[in-house]
Chain A
């Protein structure tokens, strides 16, 4: 069956450094990928998405990279700030409808 997973369940970075969160997916038919940020007690918040016809997309301080050859997705956060502390989920879908979520990575920021 299809599944989406993450290489690292926790990530600790120094404030100001760049963070890279990785995700592996197994459904080669997926054509849409999303990163969500979930803070404690809140619902997931959309960060950035990418379609399968792209390999890179940039937002404000965030970049998503997609490698379809190895079915790998990453989220890069530049100049990590204390407010970036959260759990980050990747999700994949076919047709931008129902989502399959990955395991989640907890990002903690060291001052």
Chain B
């Protein structure tokens, strides 16, 4: 199974600032995904990140707010831009290995 790590594990940020979350996979993977999980709720897909192409965003999420990088087959970043308290959430990255999708531990973001 793929082992996925994220940095930072948590952060408290002021509104109007931006935070970049890093995701590292211990093996090369084709597709990586970014999800948001608001407190006490389920996971919602933000975007799919493929190496060598622009990320594909889901309805309700835009590149200006959540720019994503995918420089190689083991790494991706998600930036939460111009943050507001509504962005307080857990952000998770995941990757497919075969048909199974594995998740990182998440980054808990609090915006004050």
Contact = CB atoms under 8 A, between A and B. Distances in A.
Partners in one complex: yes
Interface of A: 32, 34, 36, 41-46, 49, 89, 96-104
Interface of B: 1, 4, 31, 33, 41-45, 48, 58, 92, 94, 96, 99-106
Contacts of B101: 34, 46, 96, 99
A103 B96 contact: no
Most interface-central of B4, B42, B43, B100 (chain A CB within 10 A)? B42
A47 to B, nearest CB: 11
Nearest to B42: A101
Contacts of B41: 104
A34 B33 CA distance: 16
SS of B interface (majority): strand
A89 B42 contact: yes
A43 B92 CA distance: 7
Contact of A46 (B42, B45, B100, B104): B100
Contacts of B106: 41-43
Contacts of A32: 99
11 contacts: A41-B105, A43-B94, A43-B104, A44-B43, A46-B1, A46-B100, A49-B99, A89-B42, A98-B45, A98-B48, A99-B101
Contact of B43 (A42, A45, A49, A101): A101
A108 B100 CA distance: 26
Contacts of A102: 42
Nearest to A1: B59
A41 B94 CA distance: 16
A43 B44 contact: no
Nearest to B102: A46
Residue of A41, A43, A97 ringed by the most chain B CB atoms within 10 A: A43
A43 B103 contact: yes
